[in-house]
Structure 1
Amino acid sequence: MSPVSAGPGSAAPPRRSQLFRLKPVDVIVAQHEEAGGSGLRRSMGLLQLTALSIGATLGTGIFVILGEAVPLAGPAIVLAFVLAAVTALFSALSYAELAGSIPVSGSSYSYTYATMGELVAWVCGWLLMLEYGVSVAAVAVGWGAYIDDLAANTIGAVLSEALSAPPGDGGVVNVPAMVVVLLAMALLLRGTSESARVNTAMVVLKVGVLLFFCVVAFTAFRAGNLAPFVPMGVAGITAAASQAFFSYIGFDAASTAGDEARDPRRDLPRAIVLSLLVVTVVYCLVALAAVGAVPWPQISGSEAALADVLALATGQTWTAVLLSIGAVIAIASVVLTVLYGQTRILYAMSRDGLVPPVFSRVSRRRRIPVANTVIVSVVIALLAGLVPLGELANATSIGTLFAFALVNVGVIILRRSRPDLPRTFRTPLYPLTPVLGVLFCLLLVAGLGSATWLVFLAWMLVGLAVYFGYGYRHSALRTGA
């Protein structure tokens, strides 16, 4: 392709060829292999990468979203989780192929840059900000709800009100939600390897807590609680799956760590697929145990749903207290890993000139983007403290579904344009799998409400304004920087 002559300060209107100019795969990989991964330390193996994706996923929906989705589907919430899992699986397979072919930080942003061009890459990166940044805030709000539940069951309602946000969706001002984001920031600033070790320990703990929930809840299982199984019909299952999909956000977190993986071509695809399989099995078991243990209307609307289920099923508070303690730690690991992913996506976008260079400055001693981590954490802490959970979760889901759809399209394009490219993982049943991935994403998008669509459109308009106001003018691909 011929170079573009316009300089960084040029006011000339963008030509279509400039907006959709590709960043070749070979160039992307070469840039990220320079200096041992562009300044970031390669310290993560398969275990740490899998734990990263599980940590970013497991707990988000089960601990927080279950109470929001159950009213839409009743006992069929189990099928809603399966539908959401199938949708995620198609996209996970596409992610795995692209992660093995383009083993760099940046996740789907980097993949679309290589397959669909700069403008689409920007859109995808902007959607990833919605997926990662906003989901951190949403999960932090749920963390505040479990802090409230834990305090109410242990040290009284008065202290609970002093420590936590008002009952409901959080916001104005949810102090615990802000605190957990800032604690995650402090840990990330210590370094990647330290954060990975803490996250792996948290993942083991959260799996243990959820298995404890299943054991206790299944002792109170009553088949009558599952009848009628589909009270809201198929439409209810689809609507619940659209919300439940939020609980699968994060399985792609390993793809943001391409510059810090020791063997990214081999380990990234494995970590993505393995983490999704583990999460799906756990989610379906927990959902079935919950709706079988107590009548589903009693779960509706609760942000601390699992703790409430144990309290109702056993009539004892100690089980709810233990579950809440586990949830507080488990949800904190989601905040930690998803916050990490957000900073690495901005790092990749900054290296390409699409966002300010402050986001790609790496500390020589710690080998991490310090300013990036602090800026992102403070913004997300404010978002978590002031915006309700429901609005955050829905906005995150629609952005993620569109980003996943683009990844599926990217697999098809790269298979056609670069059939010679080395691939350590190939999506099975190609091209059926990525095509179904796109269709299932669109199905779940259709189940989201009009208010969510308005938020999404407003976000996209802001994103396009930022791109044409800054990103296009400073693009490293366009300016030759």
Structure 2
Amino acid sequence: MSHQLKPTLGTFHLWGIAVGLVISGEYFGWSYGWGVAGTLGFLVTTLIVATMYTCFIFSFTELTTAIPHAGGPFAYSRKAFGETGGFIAGIATLIEFVFAPPAIAMAIGAYLNVQFPDINPKMIALGAYVVFMGLNIVGVQIAATFELIVTVLAVIELLVFIGVVQPGFSFSNFVLNGWAGSNHFSGTAISGIFAAIPFAIWFFLAIEGAAMAAEEAKDPKRTIPRAYITGILTLVVLAFLVMVFAGGVGDWSKLSNINDPLPQAMKAVVGNNSSWMHMLVWIGLFGLVASFHGIILGYSRQIFALGRAGFLPKSLAKLSRFNTPHRAIIAGGVVGIAAIFSDSVINIQGMSLTAAIVTMACFGALLMYIMSMLSLFKLRRSEPDLNRSFMAPGYPVIPGIALVIAVVCFVAMFYYNATIGAIFIGFLVVGYIYFLATKTQRQFSEENQQLLNQVDVQQLPEHS
């Protein structure tokens, strides 16, 4: 059974994956940040997080092009810090990518429940998993082409939303009571800025997932930098436009704790029965589908890479007759579906299920960002001759900014989300126990592979 993925993706496919992984973050999830920070406080949070992501992507691209591997951050940290470093980055990335899809699936359920109130949103979410796991199993090029189409439609729809609500926009609405706790910047406002970090991260979460398609990219040293740089610029511009225009059409507080802020913002301008509003509800699904589908592609490649390296069961690295990691796709889906139906999670720290899952995914993301930037610094010293077709601009300042902001965000998230943080640490501990328990098995497997390689080399002249 093959354990190698085939390169079939070009620049536009990779841009579609990079933006599509994230685009649902423009449609829902971020508005919970208004509930804890206010519009102005959350604007500050988003500026900080957008700075982190921009610096991170310009730095991360150096790693992706130098080490085009399906494991992405797992592969970079493993090369920089050995097996333990690879484990930390790999399990963090896995938590991020396995926990993001159920939040998106529930948003898909919420959107469709508006049109079909008799159907349980959780059953819609379950159906979404079945459909898009199947699409990913059929083939990566088909999956990536679908991803590109729905991503383009989702971007167009966001631009349509901005154009439709623009006549009702007032900046005075956006700034009214814009600081948490009062009308003025205060200690409460500062607290809100830090508490809102996970929801600002949701604007950009998972863009790095395109790295996990690097083995399937044509000419990755050229296509990946183009896809990443245009992708992050696309997302930063859209995030600020959507947030500001949605908050300026009326009472923004009514949008701060719901899963469909854009349809509700448009409703305030055009009314309940407008064709524009119904179009947004339906076409808005493209944004959710793009991210849901793209992150399934991302988590499956991470599980595949960890299984191939022996950090997870080797059976998860098997490929289907379509040359896709079907077992990894199904395994991540089972975990995500279990999260959707784990109602007990709803009561964690008084959060909704969506907010709790978003926060868990953000913990994984931030730890992975920290490990990736540390790997960049380490590899610059330990591997000076590594073939780097793209170099992080402004080194060491740009990657340093990404690293510092990521560390601050990680600490702040633990302070404001102690229970979820403890559960996150629990996942790391369980993973580390498995990592230690399988150490001998991994070493034995690597030694056998080295012996096989030596035999092949020794026998080569006899067959030449």
Q: Which of 389, 396, 405 is 2:361 aligned to?
A: 396
Q: Distance in 1 between matches of 2:210 and 2:173?
A: 38
Q: Does 1:452 align with 2:452?
A: no
Which residues of structure 1 form unaligned runs of 5+?
1-34, 152-159, 166-173
Match of 2:456 in 1: none
Q: Which of 316, 319, 325 is 1:359 aligned to?
A: 316
Q: Does 1:304 align with 2:264?
A: no
Please tell me the residue identity of whatever aligns with 1:302: I
Mapped contact 1:138–1:392 kept (Cα < 8 A):
yes
Q: Which of 424, 433, 436 is 2:401 aligned to?
A: 436
Q: Does 1:344 align with 2:301?
A: yes
Per-residue deviation at 1:479?
4.1
Q: Does 1:130 align with 2:78?
A: no
Mapped contact 1:209–1:326 kept (Cα < 8 A):
yes
Per-residue deviation at 1:419?
1.4
Match of 1:12 in 2: none
Describe the superposition over 1:295-332 as per-residue Cα deviations: whole angstroms up to 9, x where unpaired.
22111211111111111232233333221112222211
Instruction: State how many pairs are aligned.
Output: 427
Match of 2:158 in 1: 210
- Residues 114-193 of structure 1 mapped to structure 2, 5 A cutoff: 114-151=79-116, 160=117, 162-165=118-121, 174-193=122-141
Q: Does 1:67 align with 2:28?
A: no
Match of 1:240 in 2: 196
Q: Distance in 2 between matches of 1:395 and 1:375?
A: 19
Deviation >6 Å, runs of 4+? none
Match of 1:374 in 2: 330
Q: Distance in 1 between matches of 2:262 and 2:249?
A: 11
Per-residue deviation at 1:478?
5.5
Per-residue deviation at 1:471?
5.1
Per-residue deviation at 1:266?
1.6
Match of 1:56 in 2: 21
Per-residue deviation at 1:375?
2.6
Q: Distance in 2 between matches of 1:270 and 1:239?
A: 33
Describe the superposition over 1:42-62 as per-residue Cα deviations: whole angstroms up to 9, x where unpaired.
110011011101110112x22
Describe the superposition over 1:264-309 as per-residue Cα deviations: whole angstroms up to 9, x where unpaired.
1221222222211111111110001011112221112111111111
Mapped contact 1:192–1:368 kept (Cα < 8 A):
yes
Evaluate the alpha carbon distance shift between residue 369 and residue 214 of structure 1 in structure 2; reply closer, same or farther with a 3 A threshold: same
Per-residue deviation at 1:248?
1.0
Per-residue deviation at 1:344?
0.7
Evaluate the alpha carbon distance shift between residue 135 and residue 432 of structure 1 in structure 2; reply closer, same or farther with a 3 A threshold: same
Give SS of 1:117's match: helix
Q: Distance in 2 between matches of 1:239 and 1:359?
A: 37
Describe the superposition over 1:13-46 as per-residue Cα deviations: whole angstroms up to 9, x where unpaired.
xxxxxxxxxxxxxxxxxxxxxx9x9532211001
Q: Does 1:258 align with 2:214?
A: yes
Evaluate the alpha carbon distance shift between residue 354 and residue 287 of structure 1 in structure 2; reply closer, same or farther with a 3 A threshold: same
- Residues 399-418 of structure 1 mapped to structure 2, 5 A cutoff: 399-418=364-383
Per-residue deviation at 1:129?
1.1
Mapped contact 2:23–2:290 kept (Cα < 8 A):
no
Give SS of 1:112's match: helix
Per-residue deviation at 1:476?
6.6
Per-residue deviation at 1:462?
1.3
Match of 1:32 in 2: none
Mapped contact 1:95–1:269 kept (Cα < 8 A):
no
Q: Does 1:467 align with 2:431?
A: no
Evaluate the alpha carbon distance shift between residue 290 and residue 42 of structure 1 in structure 2; reply closer, same or farther with a 3 A threshold: same
Q: Distance in 2 between matches of 1:479 and 1:395?
A: 37
Mapped contact 1:256–1:345 kept (Cα < 8 A):
yes
Mapped contact 1:178–1:382 kept (Cα < 8 A):
no
Match of 2:174 in 1: 226
Mapped contact 1:182–1:378 kept (Cα < 8 A):
no
Q: Distance in 2 between matches of 1:437 and 1:265?
A: 22
Please tell me the residue identity of whatever aligns with 1:460: L
Mapped contact 2:101–2:336 kept (Cα < 8 A):
yes
TM-score normalised to structure 1 length:
0.85
Per-residue deviation at 1:341?
0.7
Per-residue deviation at 1:396?
0.6
Q: Distance in 1 between matches of 2:285 and 2:195?
A: 28
Mapped contact 1:111–1:407 kept (Cα < 8 A):
yes
Evaluate the alpha carbon distance shift between residue 320 and residue 190 of structure 1 in structure 2; reply closer, same or farther with a 3 A threshold: same
Q: Distance in 2 between matches of 1:148 and 1:292?
A: 27
Match of 2:75 in 1: 110
Evaluate the alpha carbon distance shift between residue 228 and residue 346 of structure 1 in structure 2; reply closer, same or farther with a 3 A threshold: same
Evaluate the alpha carbon distance shift between residue 258 and residue 393 of structure 1 in structure 2; reply closer, same or farther with a 3 A threshold: same
Identity %: 22
Evaluate the alpha carbon distance shift between residue 435 and residue 475 of structure 1 in structure 2; reply closer, same or farther with a 3 A threshold: farther
Q: Distance in 2 between matches of 1:198 and 1:114?
A: 33
Give SS of 2:202's match: helix
Q: Which of 54, 58, 63 is 1:89 aligned to?
A: 54
Per-residue deviation at 1:374?
2.3
Comparing 228-237 and 124-133, the one that deviates more: 228-237
Which residues of structure 2 form unaligned runs of 5+?
181-188, 344-352, 450-464
Q: Distance in 2 between matches of 1:351 and 1:333?
A: 27
Q: Distance in 1 between matches of 2:259 and 2:69?
A: 36
